Chain A
């Protein structure tokens, strides 16, 4: 990854549609060489943000700086950013080579140089020999590679990917995911990647911004986003989680005592950057894989909690097992584990579930 300098800065971006739609204000800072994802459900404003950066959409308010230079006042064709569309948007009347050469020809690059750079790009994306094909003769994955090559050949300071993989089928998508990532690493290409697929974002990104309803909910590494969700939305959207209503019962330094709605007590850490006080309402979030089955009594002594439970249902998903437990006063808790023969037996026999104090993430309600 790059040297940590900021490549792109989005400051207070606001985009208003018609009357009802508004996105922002959004603030983002993307570092050099970083693979940065905008993740969120459809309609959260991630694509619009990307399109504002690219200049195919104008912002209502705010500012966008690229390497310290303001770009939101420039038209799209003068920004020099690479944009790859979900629909690929290849020019149907041009061959693969001509598509890739499009930007170079506009920049008046000499014919020999164009040929050399197009050839190198074709090799990079693994399409050598297909240069004279028309886009309609290519498969979805090949078209995607041409679209990528067409942007990369211009060596843009920033590559913008607008759900480029979601038009591909699952196998191909997984393959393209790792290809795209290794290509990005190889070139040190600063990249913003828009997706609604959390697996994709977690697998590929250096950092992720989770968006909801036109606002940034949290920015962080995949680990931070997954293990320390900052809001209820992030906790629910990224992976599965057990979100339990609780109240703060006591505060001792960085440690707080929670009382769950069922009456059980639990120790946890203060959320980063906040000082909760006695009586505050919070969510206690526990990932399903961190739910302990039939925990030892020591767990309660160490600050965790043990809850009497009854098994509701078990789903077998090949590699994993999902088990749903009912806990009086708390509703359903979900546990996931690797599907070994041993696990299947212990799920069936399980009468208590436990929460480790260190696995609990506290979110202000």
Chain B
């Protein structure tokens, strides 16, 4: 056997044992019947999936999807200029700037959410300062979807910036100069050259952001309150409190399917971005 098989061996073993098997287990119990005494009974049922169509759970599902998409979009819009700047500035500046971009990832999600609460809360810093200078406590964003998205963008931005930056670095500056020379101002340059060529980076960034954004637990719990629960919160409660594992498993499977659907969707968008814009 070639050497690489041996090198891959340990990883594949871990992957099979710790990911593939639990996944199969998850898929299996998601079609089993809930039993308060034994977690589940091996009786096939579709009740777990059908329950997701209840207005309450359907709402949670839609909200999760919406928050995921909006977060991804905002990250792309904020992240692209940042990634462009990072890709084009001198190596000395990059080292420092990259550290600043990645630094939020070094702080736990809980602490970051608390940071946002201190800032955005009803009696938070922004309202206190605004009140002190006579503008009143106008900010009431806590416990809304906006608050959740704000905190998620903060968490996910590096995931968008890093792959996008790597893709932009590969675009020779001479292509930008050529585009300018042929008459392209900033917007046509962006639309016809930079975005199409950075599309692979944008797609990987979007995937990473979306996956993280739809599976969070802590952030919606702290920033969104009772009214803005996401799938992650429901799964957490079902596993830890209600001990309804089959239903939790069904939700987890749906989450995975969402990710796969988004994967296909973003590859399709990426393809359009990178190919169709130049068509004549």
Q: Which A residues contact B (CB, under 8 angstroms)?
A: 54-56, 75-83, 85, 87, 89-95, 97-98, 101-103, 105-107, 111, 114-115, 150-151, 154
Contacts and interface: CB of A to CB of B under 8 A. Distances in A.
B197 interface: yes
Contacts of B180: 55-56, 75-77
A106 B274 contact: no
Contacts of A85: 174, 177-178
Please tell me the size bucket of the interface on B.
20 to 34
Given A56-B181, A83-B178, A89-B178, A98 B280 contact: yes
Nearest to B174: A89
16 contacts: A54-B177, A55-B181, A77-B181, A83-B177, A85-B174, A85-B177, A87-B172, A91-B178, A93-B274, A94-B278, A102-B182, A102-B192, A105-B280, A106-B182, A107-B183, A150-B182
Contact of B278 (A82, A83, A98): A98
A77 B181 CA distance: 5
A77 B184 contact: yes
Q: Which of B175, B178, B182, B185: most chain A Cβ within 10 A? A: B182
Contacts of B279: 98
Given A91-B193, A93-B275, A106-B188, 10 more contacts: A55-B180, A77-B181, A87-B174, A91-B175, A91-B178, A91-B278, A97-B280, A114-B280, A150-B178, A150-B182
Contacts of A91: 175, 178-179, 192-193, 278
B196 interface: yes
Contacts of B175: 89, 91
Contacts of B185: 75, 77
A93 B183 contact: no
A19 B183 CA distance: 32
A91 B185 CA distance: 16
Given A77-B185, A83-B181, A93 B280 contact: no
A150 B184 CA distance: 13
Nearest to B170: A92
A106 B181 contact: no
